[in-house]
Chain A
């Protein structure tokens, strides 16, 4: 399950968000929301998956009632929407790994031009295709020989690579100043509500809570397998990787560029996900002491880790979509083929246009918060206390969760989700220059409502058919 949670967000988003929100002032609320958003939702997903043993449509129809299967379809769509552009990110990672091993990355004098040249060529499309083909091949081999085996290789390799890079970073001269900056809180920032909202957003996006992926994987685990231990292991493991990457990037940035390194993360070329990963970090690798061989080696293994992290998450997204299609009546191999085909075609615009990529990232990332709300809604309709007793605390050797869980799922998760969605929309109302209503604007409320709206109308119309296909007509919710 750690393969699901650990993704690109740990590597390319966490560090810059920490820098932009006051260092240590950010990681305190980030830790708080690990316990108030991510872990409770991860428990809910694993418990729901083990209890119902269906993909999100069946799971929501069984817990919330047959009238709410459309919520599960929306959860699946959001994750599938992310899959369509996430495969492009996997491709970027592998391309930059090859740039690294061929020495092109460390030989380049203009990383901005290298990135622009690459993203404006057809290469992202080819690597997107390759990523989808690798992912489909892995899930075609099945849970044990495909997904489990690939994660047994990808996750430990990723952890070893990250530790190698971290050791190099913290042993650089002056690295300690960066680490100190990373952990120094500024108490006025702790009183800033924006820091808390960013901390909740980061935790919600990078742990995989609410994606529906853990729900699907949990459908395959043994009934005696734990919910709470596996859930905490996934959440803590994911955040541990974020912390190590944060320490690594801050130590390197401060060591090689002093305070300008941090400034680059806040307002400079490292202030966006792609800018940090594909422009700023290659410049840092180029400044590493030890010559071009050492620089190329560290650049290569960093991008290999990035590609592995993204690939392990992408595989679980392919699995989710294939399973949903399979439960709707397709044979599993046919479902894999259709998922792969859709991902190839509908992911192609994101591979060819950064504006399209950014739009899809905005629309479906915000959708993840709705996913969390829908999962909490399913638990509330089932009965939070009943769900806690029958599903979360059902494993014999697990540690048991107390009644405070009822309050978190029943009150705090809905409140956090509503505040977040309200905040995103408020910001978009205020900032979108071409009009908040404009469905063609990249970051508008209009584009979200337009894309979600079409999907919701279709799912509401098809609700009865989808639920009957998934659960059968005689099954009672």
Chain B
């Protein structure tokens, strides 16, 4: 596998998967914060 293939794989999969996981984490944190605020 060439270096350009590896670089494309890291760029594309990293951006899409990384973006999705990061947003999932933020969404879960936000839900928790909203729930805590409602309890207060």
Contacts and interface: CB of A to CB of B under 8 A. Distances in A.
A412 interface: no
Nearest to B15: A31
B23 A229 contact: yes
B16 A243 contact: yes
Given A237-B20, A243-B13, A27 B27 contact: no
A239 B6 CA distance: 19
Contact of A236 (B19, B29, B30, B37): B19
A209 to B, nearest CB: 16
A33 to B, nearest CB: 12
Given A226-B27, A233-B24, A397-B33, A240 B8 contact: no
Interface in B1-22: 1-2, 4-6, 8-9, 11-13, 15-17, 19-20
Given A183-B8, A185-B4, A399 B20 contact: no
B20 A240 contact: yes
Contact of A180 (B5, B16, B19, B26): B5
Contacts of B19: 232, 236
Contact of B16 (A31, A185, A187, A226): A31
A27 B9 CA distance: 10
A263 interface: no
Contacts of A27: 8, 12
Interface in A221-266: 222, 224, 226, 229-230, 232-233, 236-237, 239-240, 243
A180 B1 contact: yes
Contacts of B34: 222, 224, 397
Contacts of A446: none
Nearest to B19: A236
A108 interface: no
Contacts of B37: 224
Contacts of B17: 240
Q: What DSSP secondary structure best describes chain B's contact surface?
A: helix
Nearest to A237: B20
Interface residues of A, number: 25
A28 interface: yes
A179 to B, nearest CB: 8
Contacts of B29: 397
Nearest to A35: B15
Contacts of B4: 24, 184-185, 187
Nearest to B17: A240
A185 B33 CA distance: 43
28 contacts: A24-B4, A31-B11, A31-B12, A31-B15, A31-B16, A180-B1, A183-B5, A183-B6, A183-B9, A184-B2, A184-B5, A184-B8, A185-B8, A187-B4, A226-B30, A229-B23, A229-B26, A232-B19, A232-B23, A233-B20, A236-B16, A237-B20, A240-B17, A243-B13, A243-B16, A397-B29, A397-B34, A398-B30
Interface of A: 24, 27-28, 31, 34, 180, 183-185, 187, 222, 224, 226, 229-230, 232-233, 236-237, 239-240, 243, 397-399
Per CB-CB distance, the 6 closest pairs between chain A and chain B, nearest first, are: A236-B20, A236-B19, A233-B23, A183-B9, A24-B8, A184-B5
